[in-house]
Amino acid sequence: MSTTTTTERTDLPGADELRQRAERAAQACGLDLSAHAGDAAGRSPLTGSVVSSLAWSSAADVEAAVGRAHAAFPAFRDTPAPVRGNLVKRLGELLTQHKADLGELVSIEAGKITSEALGEVQEMIDICDYAVGLSRQLFGRTMTSERPGHRLMETWHPLGVVGVISAFNFPVAVWSWNTAVALVCGDPVVWKPSEQTPLCALAANALLQRALAESDLSPDLAHVVLGAGEVGQALVDDPRVALLSATGSTRMGREVGPRVAARFGRVLLELGGNNAAIVGPSADLDLTTRGIVFAAAGTAGQRCTTMRRVIAHRDVVDDVVERVGAAYRKLPVGNPLVEGTLVGPLVSKAAFEGFEAAIEQAKEAGGEVIAGGARVDVGGADAYYVEPTVIRMPQQSQVVCTETFAPILYVLDYADLDEAIALNNGVPQGLSSSIFTQDQAEAERFVAASGSDCGIVNVNIGTSGAEIGGAFGGEKETGGGRESGSDAWRAYMRRATNTINYSGELPLAQGVTFDV
């Protein structure tokens, strides 16, 4: 194990203290831990120590949960949308009240620094605010009919049970994106969280259960099922799950998508990202450096929107490399619960092994490590802290085109904007992208149809840190799904086209005659 010159925060709590803090935070959210006690050990990436012992669900448990949610659907479907919005409003109030408690659980189970963990809970609060307003704006259209005395319109109706599969890196926010919107749309939710963050899920669901009780609504409108393997498979395959929203790897999406399609269910996929920032010759390099460092090193590189590539113009690439490398060498790595830490741990040994393997592959492809590249001696043998790493690459080789869920940033150079856009688009994933430039023509070109092929296209801001008001998602191997804002709510409802004849006659469309 190597040490580094990176500023280290080593004052980590002991195993007993860490578990006690997790249990206190969960109980403060209203979670009865005794009701979920079992033999499945949940470990914190901070030290690798056990912070929970819970009972995993079975396929039969999933079937029962979906059945109860399905039975609760008809009454909820007929509940006015603004009343459903009041439920979400109460959830947002409880999240505000317990922001610190849930944020601490996110730090302990996912390894996020405190400000990012609290920011994740704030995102939950924000989507609740958004969904409350949405509950009075589930609009359909009125269209002009070609037939006299007819009105043509569309209406939107609740869809049914929504299954949610979420990943460790946003252990509560992604659930809230789906759940707040699904609830105002009239849909119950069954959630399978990451097996690495079960306490976060149970605590969030406890708050929702309290909101349901206070709103005189059925507790069966929300369920959590814990585990892996057969648990997720049972949720994917149940024909009563009208929409399956799954966040995870592209590999997972390739398995989930066809299974849901085979039963003619709907699927919403949020999969991998390999996000790039183009740095133009006119870029403000102070702003650019700040944008790159947060997007690339934040959450220890474990966001789907993490910046993994910088494509810098040849006139500025040396300066960019020098600035970013200098910033990386000063990043405080260590205990995410301590104020001032900016980089916490990788989630697991497998993540660390992926980090090491990618660096070796980059070197073999001619890459030069500019900063980082080593493990940081924090937290003991079962904790995996690493230096955020900058590697200058001669070309966009296979390792650069592969998403590694760790803080590795590859830097490439380009001669003209066409080449830069081709590099940006030249990976299988299509989630997030950005350009740093003071040239308006470059900015407009990047966001045009001939520019970035990603679902998120930013100018003078990094690739991560999306707001809830916009639809979130991407193209190609990112899966094509959209969550959160804009018109993403339509995925959670079914559309009906209505023709209303008030003419007293029966003219047919397209001039067809059929007299009897």
The side-by-side arrangement of strands in the sheet containing 222-224 is 222-224, 189-192, 161-165, 241-247, 266-270
214 catalytic residue (yes or no): no
Please say if 270 is a catalytic residue.
yes
Return the residue matching tokens 């979920």. 36
Q: Which of 128, 185, 304, 454 is catalytic?
A: 304
Q: What is the pTM of this model?
A: 0.96
Give the 3-state secondary structure of residue 286.
helix
Residue 515 lies in a domain: no
303 and 284, same structural domain? Answer: yes
Do 229 and 193 belong to one domain?
A: yes
How many domains, in total, are found in the chain? 2
Tell me the one-letter amino acid at 281: P
Spatial contact of 84 and 66, defined as CB atoms under 8 Å apart: no
Q: Integer distance in angstroms from the first to the last C-alpha of the chain?
A: 87
Range of the domain at 234: 59-271+479-495
Nearest to 257 by CA among 249, 248, 268: 268
Angle, CA 34 vertex, CA 33 and CA 35 arms, to 5°: 90
- Determine contact, residues 187/220, Cβ cutoff 8 Å: no
Are 136 and 229 in the same domain? yes
Percent of the chain as helix, strand, coil, to the nearest 5: 40, 20, 35
Distance from C-alpha of 392 to C-alpha of 371, rounded to nearest angstrom: 10
| 343 in a structural domain | yes
Question: Is 335 inside any structural domain?
Answer: yes
Looking at residue 345, which CATH number applies to its domain? 3.40.309.10
Looking at the structure, tell me whether residues 170 and 91 fall in a common domain: yes
Residue 209 located in a structural domain: yes
Q: Is residue 39 part of a domain?
A: no
In this structure, is residue 4 part of a structural domain?
Answer: no
The residues, any chain, with a CB within 8 Å of residue 251's CB and separated by 6 or more, are: none
Residue 93 lies in a domain: yes
Catalytic residue among 120, 195, 270, 403: 270
Same domain for 230 and 263, yes or no, is: yes
Contact 274, 401 (CB under 8 A): yes
Say yes or no: 324 and 460 in one domain: yes
Q: Do 285 and 233 have their domain in common?
A: no
Residues 267 and 293 in one domain: no
* Residues 432, 294 share a domain: yes
Q: What is the spatial distance between Cα 56 and Cα 349, in angstroms, rounded to a whole number? A: 22
Are 490 and 465 within 8 A, CB to CB? no
Q: Are residues 294 and 310 in the same domain?
A: yes
Do 378 and 340 have their domain in common?
Answer: yes
231 lies in the same domain as 325: no
Any domain includes 1: no
pLDDT tens digits for the chain (516 residues)? 344 445 565 689 999 999 999 999 999 999 999 999 999 999 999 999 999 999 999 999 999 999 999 999 999 999 999 999 999 999 999 999 999 999 999 999 999 999 999 999 999 999 999 999 999 999 999 999 999 999 999 999 999 999 999 999 999 999 999 999 999 999 999 999 999 999 999 999 999 999 999 999 999 999 999 999 999 999 999 999 999 999 999 999 999 999 999 999 999 999 999 999 999 999 999 999 999 999 999 999 999 999 999 999 999 999 999 999 999 999 999 999 999 999 999 999 999 999 999 999 999 999 999 999 999 999 999 999 999 999 999 999 999 999 999 999 999 999 999 999 999 999 999 999 999 999 999 999 999 999 999 999 999 999 998 899 999 999 999 999 999 999 999 999 999 999 999 999 999 999 999 988
CATH number at 247 reads 3.40.605.10
What single-letter amino acid sits at 100?
A: A
Going 458 to 459 to 465 to 468, the CA torsion angle's sign is negative
